[in-house]
A = this chain, B = another copy of it.
């Protein structure tokens, strides 16, 4: 029986809403049956019609949707929240209060305080809150994680992670570009600019792959575009709990870079490199041995990568398949929950979302104090 899914946000023209829907559809385990797709009622209704959502299950607000769906016999079991950041918190709270699982875009909230409230709520409720740090769904990312956990790199010493784009290299928010407008507006995006929007992805990836915890950070943030209110470039130093050191660069003004998320990890026995724009490959360089390139689905692929791959080596999978791997994992979790079980999973949850918000808040504190180390321990 497919999982009954609702969606908040993601009406016509919204990029990420469609991504979530394709990801949910890819493995055929969800059916989208309800939505509060837009704050504009006409847009909401039209979008719902296009998506085959029955008119009576197209709602004017997420509050109404949470309330009414929770009372239906076959109401939604989970909701995907794909709105601007400032709505993540109230929407997630509404659905959790209604006993509905939540799939929430990143960053989790617009403040660390809200994230902590949400985490407490999730823990109290026993419900699932998944955060779509979708890059952790790529098979070769999971391969990297498995290789490190298996000791292939020895002791991790250095982690270099970056996420570079250029779409905010000019002041497009002034020209009314909708995506840019809310992402550069502190009332909607929260206090983090690039660090919240993409830095949290990079941060999660570093902890996810290495299995390590970032202990403290030191940040140097900039807003290079005149008039911009949030950071558009961040240079951040990292201290990991095991003594490893790293740097994190997030930028939305790196001219000519499209979606350059990349991580490099060096241990006492080997190194690993992965780049999101070329996701089917993982470069593995054991110290003193010939360099290797693992391919998705190819020789050397471990259990977690194999489980996350649909087609053979040489047939490239991409962003949508990686995203769908999160949805598949969430489906597993929800099905276990139906049976009263709790599933260990690779899917990022509220804990990871909370880490991300702590990262954002401490980066801002460090930068505001002239680049002083800030602890990420709570």
Contact = CB atoms under 8 A, between A and B. Distances in A.
Interface of A: 15, 18-19, 21-22, 25-26, 28, 51-52, 153-154, 157-158, 160, 162, 164-166, 169-170, 218, 220, 222, 224, 233, 235, 237, 239, 245-247, 249, 251, 253-260, 264, 266-271, 276-280, 283-295, 298-300, 310-321, 370-371, 373
A74 to B, nearest CB: 16
B290 A299 contact: yes
Contacts of A22: 26, 310
A202 to B, nearest CB: 13
Q: How many monomers of this chain does the complex have?
A: 4
Contact of A165 (B269, B278, B314, B317): B314
B318 A315 contact: yes
Contact of A253 (B233, B266, B285): B266
Contacts of A277: 280, 314, 316
A283 B295 CA distance: 14
A271 B254 contact: yes
A140 to B, nearest CB: 12
A291 B257 CA distance: 9
Contacts of A237: 218, 220, 235, 237, 371
B373 A287 contact: no
A373 B370 contact: yes
Q: Identify which of A218, A266, A313 gathers the most chain B CB atoms within 10 Å of its CB.
A: A266
Contacts of A158: 224, 233, 251, 253-254
Contacts of A222: 157, 245
Contacts of A291: 256, 292-295, 298
A271 B256 contact: yes
Complex A-B, nearest 10 residue pairs according to Cβ-Cβ distance, in ascending order: A256-B285, A259-B314, A258-B314, A316-B318, A256-B271, A318-B318, A315-B319, A290-B300, A255-B287, A255-B271
A247 B269 CA distance: 25
A300 to B, nearest CB: 4
A100 B357 CA distance: 55
B157 A224 contact: yes
Given A258-B298, A270-B255, A298-B290, A317 B319 contact: yes
A19 B316 CA distance: 13
Contacts of A19: 311
Nearest to A251: B158
Contact of A259 (B166, B284, B315): B315
Contacts of A52: 28
A101 B31 CA distance: 27
Given A235-B237, A260-B314, A316-B319, A249 B247 contact: yes
Contacts of A264: 254
A269 B253 CA distance: 10
